[in-house]
Amino acid sequence: MESYNKQYFLERWEDSVKRSPDSRMLIDSDGQRQYTRKEVDEMSGRVYRYLKEHQVGTNDFVMIYMPRTVDIFVAALGVLKAGAYFTIMEDHYPRERVEMIMHAANCKMELNAAAFAEATTLETEADYVKSDLHTPAFAVFTSGSTGNPKGIIHEYGNIGHIMDSVVYPDCEGIKEFALIAPTNFVATILLFMVALKDETVDVHLLQYDIVK
């Protein structure tokens, strides 16, 4: 078995951008958004600057509450560059549930479509916070169908393991993945993090009307 890569996950991300800056990475099903690795890096750097200007950093919780587009993943990478941690709620989720989670997690910021749009007007931030491996990176919450939503926190140290958890030894060239699950599902976040280190992975985010 291949040994665990101990390089910090954002260093691996930077390496992938350097190798293939112009390779596609994130694609919306309607074709309106198609981001290369370089574009994702620059845009997430703008989100990081926005967060830093609002004093958001290590151990701060950010609620990403945005429409179902690949901008959600750009926002998530920006939060990770800031050393904070996030959860994702697509903006069709009931506001009551979103506010319940924000209150329970002592949310520092809601990163919604308006805030994201403002962030993208800023200069990009080239560096990032190198977080301790045991600080929170993201949280996944249960549906709350049997009570209040319960959150499971994943640490920064898990991200490297996640990156290496998916292998495809018999596949060559570009690998196209179509995401049909909600963006707050563990499997969705897992695939996005695999794409951070592998420039041969394209992530297509499908809208629910296509899935149905």
Residue 1 in this model has a pLDDT that exceeds 50: no
pLDDT tens by residue, 133-176: 999 999 998 766 666 777 889 999 999 989 888 777 666 777 88
Query: Considering the chain, what is the average pLDDT of its residues?
Result: 90
pLDDT tens by residue, 175-193: 888 999 999 999 999 999 9
pLDDT tens by residue, 119-132: 999 999 999 999 99
Provide the percentage of residues in the chain whose pLDDT is more than 70.
92
Tell me what pLDDT residue 175 has. Answer: 84
pLDDT tens by residue, 21-59: 999 999 998 878 999 999 999 999 999 999 999 999 999
For residues 78-91, average pLDDT: 96
What pTM was estimated for this model as a whole?
A: 0.92
Q: Which of 122, 131, 127, 115 lies closest to 64 in space, CA to CA? A: 115
